[in-house]
Amino acid sequence: MYEEFAAWLDEKLENGLPDTAAAVNFNIYEEENNGWSVQLVASDRFDAQDDEWACFEVYSSQEDLYYWEKEYSWEEAHEDVRELISAYLENGRYSDMLKNYRAVGFGFVDGDLELAYVRE
């Protein structure tokens, strides 16, 4: 699963993100028939105390989502996304680019965000 996620993310990041981007977020969606998807967005602001920062998009992968099917709970899907992002931040082709942003977050689009990385 990681290889497919990394290839999808590499494609989104290879041309860079807008200069106004301050932080990135991975929106998680629950789809039909045990489907799950992730969308990449970049925001022009970041506030660790307010998840609304992710709503101020300057970039979105829009309908070009990373998609997989697996029968499990939303908590397990959330954990899989955490592991995918952590692995990418550790070994991904554009991990340094992501670490130059103020933060990398993730979470279900209608839920709370979690921070996978915050630049010190």
Provide the residue ranges of all domains of the chain, joining segments of one domain with +.
2-118
* pLDDT score for 110: 86
Q: Which residues does 86 contact at the CB level (< 8 Å), separation at least 6?
A: 116
What band does 120 get if pLDDT is binned at 50, 70 and 90? Answer: confident
CA nearest 16: which of 50, 40, 39? 40
Rounded Cα–Cα distance for residues 83 and 38 (Å):
13
Rounded Cα–Cα distance for residues 96 and 48 (Å):
21
Residues 89 and 117: beta-carbon distance below 8 Å: yes
DSSP β-ladder status, 103-108 and 23-30: parallel
In tens, the pLDDT along 59-95 reads 999 999 999 999 999 999 999 999 999 999 999 999 9
In tens, the pLDDT along 13-71 reads 999 999 999 999 999 999 999 999 999 999 999 999 999 999 999 999 999 999 999 99
